[in-house]
Amino acid sequence: MHALSLGTWWIHVTSVLEWLVAMLAVQRFGAARREGGWRWLALAMVPALISAMAACTWHLFDNSPALKGLVIFQAVLTAIGNTTMAIACWNLLRQQRTRQAQP
């Protein structure tokens, strides 16, 4: 745990918690609007959350070269998360346009 300062650890941990809160807020917002696309966006945020937890785990073990696979796993999850969130946002946009087009 010596690889990061206490302040940096604080930022890492609170960022993970903030992401969890954001996922819950997105899901509740969609439920309040009765729009299922928001639930998909919250679900699409999961890979990014796991990616952040993988990064924190790597730092917890002092950025050990033995855990290089964890870094690769984290990078792949970041790419997957960005892709799934983009698709979910596109789906939301599509749903909004469909609702607006209906009389």
> Which token pair is 13?
């941990």
Q: How confident is the model at residue 3 (pLDDT cuts 50, 70, 90)?
A: confident
| Mean per-residue pLDDT, 27-42 | 95
Q: What percent of the chain has pLDDT over 90?
A: 86
Task: Enumerate the domain spans of the chain.
Answer: 6-101
With CA atoms as reference, report the closest residue to 78 among 25, 19, 7: 19
| Mean per-residue pLDDT, 31-38 | 94
- List, for residues 37-87, the tens digit of each pLDDT value: 999 999 999 999 999 999 999 999 999 999 999 999 999 999 999 999 999
Q: Are 2 and 62 in contact (CB under 8 A)?
A: yes
Q: How far is CA 77 from CA 20, 31, 34, 70, 93, in A?
A: 16, 27, 29, 10, 24
| Mean per-residue pLDDT, 1-7 | 80
CB within 8 Å of 1: residues ≥ 6 apart:
9, 59, 60, 62
> Which token pair is 66?
């033995």
> Which token pair is 60?
């917890």
pTM of the model: 0.88
